Amino acid sequence: MKKHFLFAAAAAALMTCACSVEPVDTVDVQPEEEGEITVLTAGFAGSDETRTVRQSDGKVFWSPKDAISIIRGTSSTGNKKFVSDNTEPAASANFTGTMPSGTGAYWAVYPYRSESYFNGSYLVTTLPSVQEAVAGSFADDLFISAAYVSNSTKSLTFHHQVGGLKFSVTQPGIKRVTMIAADEDAFLAGLIGLYCPTPGQVPYIRATGYPEDMSTSIELTAPEGETLQVGEAYHIVTMPSTLNGGFTLLFEKEDGSIGFKTISKTVALKAGHFATLMEADKGVTYRDSYLEYGPQEVTVEGAGGVFGITVNGTLEYHIDSASDWIKEVSAKGDVRFGCVHSFYAEPNPEAGERTGMLSICYGDNCYPIMVTQSAQGAVTAIPHHIFGMRFTATWCQYCPMMDEAFHKIKSQLGDSFEYACFYATSGNYGTAGSDYLANFYGIGGYPTGIIDGRIDIPNYNSTDVTAQEAINAGNETVKYYPTATSLGIESSVSGRNVTVKVDVKALYAEDYKLTVLLCENDIIGNQSNYTSPSTITDFNHSRVTRMFLTSSYTGDLFEVPADGGTTSLTYTATIPSGYNMDNMEVVAYVQRSYGDRPAIQSGRYGEWYVDNSRSAAFGKKVEVEF
């Protein structure tokens, strides 16, 4: 499916492509397999969502022999390939193939991908993060469009699900342009879930894959042996996304030199639209054979932890440690636009500060990076209470396994492990905050655990393995990010009104975040199960998040003004009559910013991790621990 321009676009304009269509006569095109031959007529919506925003400079046409997926049901045979019969680009085309079995509503998705499927809630497909550059257009199999229709529908109206960036270049010799979102959670490509509640309505992207299935960058590469043509319009096709921090374009020439263009303002990428940046590399300086790194001097707390060295450039290099108490943990990112090397410094057992050294080497040259670690002093290690989030649902057959694993951890660690359960609103016991956090942490399937806001714990076949992985993740938090805060909780109850005071004492004068939850225990109800019985009718649902007392689902920002100081925060709530007051408790957790330290996490969960947590039943009190 190609984009054919009617006339040239102006700089800084936004455009999209669409047209309303009329069915055309059918022709006899044989499908690739035997079965009931069906001919479907397909065009594109002509509503405002797909009409040009600022100028009418293009339409979307079907290319000859385009293929779409027709998907019905959740079986592995539910995806069938339909091929168009047009011999030249056309606004409407007939698609012929064999309908998947069944009589229910079905999905029609462009482009055809054999791996696309319906999981019972979403239509799952992919947008690749490596794309081929096509002058004046975009490559086939990129511009995802979809329709969800009833069984009897044979005339399809497709709705665009993706958009992107339209740009041109001013300098010859450019072979690749990479678009990199500034925000760590701004996904541009990857696994996409399309949702449509009722046949005939407009589908939209409701879910994406796990962070490891997603990409915050897209490479647009010229065909082999070619470079981008100066002055021609090119398109990077992206998921809809709001880039609050803007984005960077990395330009690479065939001689190995690179240049950057950064857009720092908020950019909204909308379905069916292309934000436009003509002459995108104007004024860009290209460089080759260089390497930059920093910081060149590092200071580490006496308690140890991680620190990062960022390397940019085009040369091959390596970093060596000359000190046995400094060890490399990981390296993340592309050196062309920033590779972060994470190093772990062990706690300092000496009475005074100590120094160590790293060496960064490229070619025959090696340069020192000095590391100074302060004395650990008399700072007492603050007990760390691992915090687990269990994302679950009453319809989830495998969720009882993770519930068992969390109970196992609790029995082993006692109050050194705190947790809360966040139930999906598509079942019982869900809250808006539960769905919000599920989206924030990129939960792609239930059950999933998040430990200390950093590490994703999937549901292993063994509850022992799940429990141990969670404990390992919590121990890693203390190792890499020594605990800096402690919480005290006190609550009072009058009728169905509760007042909660949380004291947060911190080693360091910083900004922190606090989240306070009200959870209910011993809720007896139904729970789906993967073994017999398929439904447990007397399942004990514990630590069910009922209410968020803090105004933000991701935590309220507050300040501890002095090292070793305490900040107190008070919240009030009226407990709904359906909740059992005797089974309620307060669960609170404090988040600390990574700051200059590298964020070691499973996904792109932002700049905060859980530093500590505590819980207390209504009317009970726990004290700060240092």
**What pLDDT is stored for residue 251 in this prediction?**
96
Residues 405-422 as b or e (16 or more Cβ within 10 Å = b):
bbbbbbeebeeebbbbbb
Q: 519 pairs with which residues across the strands?
A: 545, 585
Residue type, 417: F
Residue with tokens 């022709």: 27
Asked if 584 contacts 574 with a C-beta cutoff of 8 angstroms, the reply is no
In the numeric block, which tokens belong to residue 466? 């799940």
Q: Residue 228 gets which letter from DSSP? A: P
State the pLDDT confidence band at 52, using cuts at 50, 70 and 90. Answer: very low
Mean pLDDT is lowest, of 43-47, 60-64, 219-223, 474-478, for 43-47
pLDDT of 605 higher than 80: yes
Over residues 158-172, the pLDDT tens digits come to 999 999 999 999 999
pLDDT at residue 19, as a whole number:
23
pLDDT band at 620 (very low <50, low <70, confident <90, very high): very high
Could you tell me the pLDDT band of residue 260, with boundaries at 50, 70 and 90?
Answer: very high
Position 206 scores a pLDDT of 83
The predicted model gives 575-599 an average pLDDT of 96
Q: Once rounded to an integer, what is the mean pLDDT over residues 459-476?
A: 95
Neighbours of 468 (CB within 10 A): 16
DSSP state of 583: G
Q: Which residue blocks in 103-158 are alpha helix, DSSP H?
A: none
What pLDDT score was predicted for residue 59?
61
Q: First CA to last CA across the chain, in angstroms?
A: 64
How far from 128 is each of 67, 277, 529, CA to CA, in Å? 17, 22, 35
Domain ranges of the chain: 2-277, 291-373, 386-622
Contact call for residues 586 and 516 (beta carbons, < 8 A):
yes
Q: Which residues of 240-276 are buried (b: 16+ CB within 10 A; e: fewer)?
A: bbebebebbbbbbbeeebbbbbebeeebebbbbbbbb
pTM of structure: 0.74
Whole-number pLDDT of residue 25 = 28
Return the higher-pLDDT residue of 188 and 11.
188
Residue 30, pLDDT score: 32
Q: Do domains 291-373 and 386-622 have the same CATH topology?
A: yes
Least confident of 25-34, 116-125, 252-261, 405-414: 25-34
What pLDDT score does 320 carry? 95
- The two three-digit tokens of residue 426, written as one number: 């598509």
Q: What is the mean pLDDT of residues 265-278?
A: 92
Query: Interhelix angle for 399-413 vs 463-480, to 10°?
Result: 50
CB atoms within 10 A of CB 607: 11
Q: Express as a percent the part of the chain with pLDDT over 90.
A: 74
Most confident region among 3-7, 54-58, 560-564 by mean pLDDT: 560-564
Res. 127: pLDDT tops 60: yes
In this structure, what token pair is assigned to residue 623? Answer: 């004290």
Give 306-351 pLDDT, tens digit per residue: 999 999 999 999 999 999 999 999 998 889 888 999 999 999 998 8
Distance CA(346)–CA(301), nearest Å, equals 10
pLDDT the model gives residue 108: 94
CA distance 156 to 144: 15
Q: Which helix (H) or strand (E) holds 297?
A: strand 297-300
In the chain, count H helices and then E strands.
Answer: 3, 48
What's the average model confidence in pLDDT over 594-601?
Answer: 94
Question: Beta partners for 409?
Answer: none
Q: Tell me what pLDDT residue 13 has.
A: 24
Question: Could you tell me which of 455, 459, 468, 476 has the C-alpha nearest to residue 408?
Answer: 468
With 90 as the cut, is the pLDDT of residue 463 above it? yes
Q: Per mean pLDDT, which range of 187-196, 379-388, 475-484, 582-591 is the poorest?
A: 379-388
Q: Which CATH superfamily, name and number, covers 291-373?
A: Immunoglobulins (2.60.40.10)
Q: State the chain's mean pLDDT as an integer.
A: 88
- pLDDT band of residue 26 (cuts 50, 70, 90) is very low
- Tally Cβ neighbours within 10 Å of residue 154: 14
What's the mean pLDDT in 241-265?
Answer: 93
Indicate whether 6 pLDDT > 70. Answer: no
**Domain 386-622 is of which CATH architecture?**
Sandwich (2.60)
In whole angstroms, what is the distance from residue 466 CA to residue 29 CA? 52
Q: Which two tokens stand for residue 139?
A: 């490559």
Residue with tokens 């398109």: 235
pLDDT of residue 24: 28
Position 95, amino acid = F
Higher pLDDT, 604 or 182: 182
Nearest to 361 by CA among 426, 312, 291: 291
Stretch among 44-58, 85-99, 397-411 having the lowest mean pLDDT: 44-58
